[in-house]
Amino acid sequence: MVAMNIINLYENFNYYFSAEYKAIFERVSKVASKSKHKLYLIGGGVRDMLLGIKSLDIDITVEGDAIEFARILEREGYAKILNVHKDFGTVKVEIDGEKIDFASTRSEIYPKKGHLPHVKNIGCSLEEDVLRRDFTVNSLALSLNQDNFADLIDYVGGFDDLKDKKIRILHDKSFIDDPTRIIRALKYATRLGFELEENTLMLQKEYLRSVNYDMCNKRVKNEIKKTFDEPSSNAFEKFIDQGIYKLVTLKEVKKPHANIENLFAKYNPKHPWLVYLGLIGVFENDDFCDKLELTKIEKGIILCAKGLLEKEFKDDFELYKAFCNQKIETLLILAVLGKEKQVSHYLDNFSKIKLHVTGDDLVKLGFSPSKAFADGFDYVLREKLQNSQIKKAQELKLIKYYLTNL
């Protein structure tokens, strides 16, 4: 049994949660008291409540069987069950319009290091459930039980680590079991402004010296996506400085010179994480994308950047032709990797330029469709790149001139 600290956090609870959430927690607490289930808020929700920051999701752990408890809630008319995962003992319910995840306490084992854990025991003690988790600050539980409502249950010293702004793993094999936790640690460190605790940092270094590449890369991708899907480049800098990139490549990665944050602020990519991943991916074989299970579109973004990286552009026309169908993420990968001048020139001056004249217009003018149409469009485009004010009527004039003087 691990020594446990208990303090009551009703004031924090009362201040942090909205009236709607508090009403839900109090209602489920009453039902649990009658049915003799023990409920705890757990994980990110408790961490964020203590930090006073907005939480991404609310998870409730039932010490015992969450599915059985959700059925009671539904029977009594308090909740609607949305979906059930029997193998994990988890259930999503809707209460007063809010979607809430209930999970049965469970212990896990990692029969294959680096891959998804197997559930060992559903309905174990809260303490065992806590001990399967990644970091102390994610292992705090807040009682929703009538006899100790809002008591903080801290088996692993997470409260002190929150105060000290430390990310600490729960046991020395944590990164070996699940190397994606190295990226998760980076995510929390940058999001919360925390540091890795000394032993955690030492074990991370040790793992990165001899990475076991037989790991679930889909999870690596998902963590990279969550970690880098914001404009700040802090996480990427640490990703390089601490050698965390070794989880995805055997090659050495250097910090780019370009100011990524400025580029993101100016051009606002939808998926910053793909730019960051692309900065590594363009120097890899094509199986880099397949290994990480990128979608066709995600893979296309990186491969297009790879194809354009060494290309030189004779003039604006060539630049436009090469860039006009590319996604912003592809262009930003190129910008960061040395083509900033060309990319900015294209984005600032040409990206809005489109031809209005169409093949139908030319047919209406009496021309028969031919390969010359494409050359005609290029002729008009060259003119438009020099004068973006050209309107459709002038475009028609120009293309007519071109086609009749062939």
Residues that bind ligand CTP in the complex, under the rule CB under 6 A: 43-44, 56-57, 133-134, 138, 178, 180-181, 184
Cα distance between the two ends of the chain: 89
Shortest Cβ distance from residue 181 to ligand CTP (Å)?
A: 5
Using Cβ positions, the residue closest to ligand CTP within the complex turns out to be 44
Shortest Cβ distance from residue 170 to ligand CTP (Å)?
A: 9
Shortest Cβ distance from residue 199 to ligand CTP (Å)?
A: 18
Rounded to the nearest angstrom, the gap between the alpha carbon of residue 143 and the centroid of all alpha carbons in its chain is 30
Shortest Cβ distance from residue 132 to ligand CTP (Å)?
A: 6
Alpha helices in 193-233 (DSSP H): 198-209, 217-228
Shortest Cβ distance from residue 28 to ligand CTP (Å)?
A: 19
DSSP codes joined into one string, 80-141: EEEEEETTTTEEEEEETTEEEEEEE-EEEE-SSTTSPPEEEEET--HHHHHHTSSBGGG--E
Host H or E run for residue 67: helix 66-75
The residue among 136 and 143 lying less far from ligand CTP, judged by its C-beta, is 136
| Alpha carbons 253 and 334: distance in angstroms, whole number | 16
The residue among 112 and 257 lying less far from ligand CTP, judged by its C-beta, is 112
Shortest Cβ distance from residue 135 to ligand CTP (Å)?
A: 7
Give the burial string for 20-29 (b: 16+ CB within 10 Å, else e): ebeebbebbb
The residue among 61 and 242 lying less far from ligand CTP, judged by its C-beta, is 61
| Alpha carbons 275 and 113: distance in angstroms, whole number | 29
The residue among 231 and 256 lying less far from ligand CTP, judged by its C-beta, is 231
The residue among 181 and 246 lying less far from ligand CTP, judged by its C-beta, is 181
Q: Kindly tell me the burial class for residue 218, based on how many C-beta atoms sit within 10 Å of its own C-beta (0-12, 13-18, 19 or more).
A: middle
Shortest Cβ distance from residue 110 to ligand CTP (Å)?
A: 11
276: helix, coil or strand?
helix
CB atoms within 10 A of CB 53: 12
User: 59-63 and 98-104 as β-strands: parallel, antiparallel, unpaired?
Assistant: parallel
CB atoms within 10 A of CB 63: 22
The residue among 43 and 376 lying less far from ligand CTP, judged by its C-beta, is 43
The residue among 45 and 376 lying less far from ligand CTP, judged by its C-beta, is 45
Give the strands of the sheet with 59-63, arranged side by side.
5-8, 151-154, 141-143, 38-42, 59-63, 98-104, 90-95, 80-85
The residue among 171 and 205 lying less far from ligand CTP, judged by its C-beta, is 171
The residue among 63 and 178 lying less far from ligand CTP, judged by its C-beta, is 178
- Which residue type does 130 have? V
Shortest Cβ distance from residue 234 to ligand CTP (Å)?
A: 16
| Alpha carbons 163 and 144: distance in angstroms, whole number | 23
The residue among 180 and 330 lying less far from ligand CTP, judged by its C-beta, is 180
Shortest Cβ distance from residue 146 to ligand CTP (Å)?
A: 25
Instruction: Tell me the angle at which helices 180-192 and 234-241 cross, rounded to the nearest 10 degrees.
Output: 140
Shortest Cβ distance from residue 134 to ligand CTP (Å)?
A: 3
Rounded to the nearest angstrom, the gap between the alpha carbon of residue 127 and the centroid of all alpha carbons in its chain is 29
